[in-house]
Amino acid sequence: MRTALLQSSGHPGSTVENLKVLDEAAGRAAAAGAGLLVTPEMFLTGYAIGDDIARLAEPADGAYADAVAETAARHGLAIAYGYPERAGDTVYNSAQLIAADGTRLAGYRKTHLFGCFERDHFTPGDRQVVQAEVDGVRVGILICYDVEFPENVRAHALAGTELLIVPTAQMHPFQFVAESMIPVRAFENQMYVAYVNRVGQEGEFEFVGLSTLAGPDGIARTRAGRAEDLVLADVDPALVAASREANPYLTDRRPGLYGSLV
């Protein structure tokens, strides 16, 4: 499955403009043969928008989801996007996966909130593993800081995730996560990891780009620079199966020794 990574901060504060950016990127991704397009964290509204987060937050089945579903169906590819999700009086930092026919496949709420900014605006989710099938690939979802906890990624590996998508708002000076940690996460858990970042200055934050899709061999299949970009790479579930056979991290585990860690 060809996977497209949209590295962009869009237009913070303007959902209408961000939906236009998404539509244009979906057209380019589909023309390049992609079956899945992944956006950064909080793409539909912007990340550093303060109290506008609560104002722009919508339910998982709201107008944003309908607009993304229409875009996905028109271009014929699945779309995973970051947005602020409202559930009653509660707001989550969420990502939703929409199928190529516009069906809502999965929704994930960020479980590990980073810093005072996020803790002031969001409630953490409580589901560690969320998955769906896209073109025969088992796709799992985490968001940004979540992937920095090895327990989260290992839980996905044990649940059979083949491609872990990670909408991200990774900022300076933590670019080593994109450069070094993501390929290691992919290798130690024998899966593909698509880490899709914002880029440029936004409020007090400088997002570093460097979006990457790493394979189960720890090698980056594609990597963006530090400018707006759309990069693509192929995900092969057969390689995941072969790699897990050759690199038995998951079968050689000894969980009985690890209980004290959790």
Each of the 262 residues of the chain gets a pLDDT tens digit; together they read 999 999 999 999 999 999 999 999 999 999 999 999 999 999 999 999 999 999 999 999 999 999 999 999 999 999 999 999 999 999 999 999 999 999 999 999 999 999 999 999 999 999 999 999 999 999 999 999 999 999 999 999 999 999 999 999 999 999 999 999 999 999 999 999 999 999 999 989 999 999 999 999 999 999 999 999 999 999 999 999 999 999 999 999 999 998 887 6
Q: How far is CA 35 from the centre of its chain?
A: 15
Among the listed residues 58, 118, 144, 162, the single catalytic one is: 144
- In this prediction the pTM is 0.97
Closest to 98 in 3D by CA, of 85, 75, 83, 81: 81
Among the listed residues 110, 118, 148, 202, the single catalytic one is: 110
Any catalytic annotation for residue 116? no
Per-residue pLDDT, 247: 93
Burial of 261 (0-12, 13-18, 19+ CB in 10 A): exposed
- For residues 192 and 16, what is the distance between their CA atoms, to the nearest angstrom? 32
Per-residue pLDDT, 131: 98
- For residues 156 and 171, what is the distance between their CA atoms, to the nearest angstrom? 25
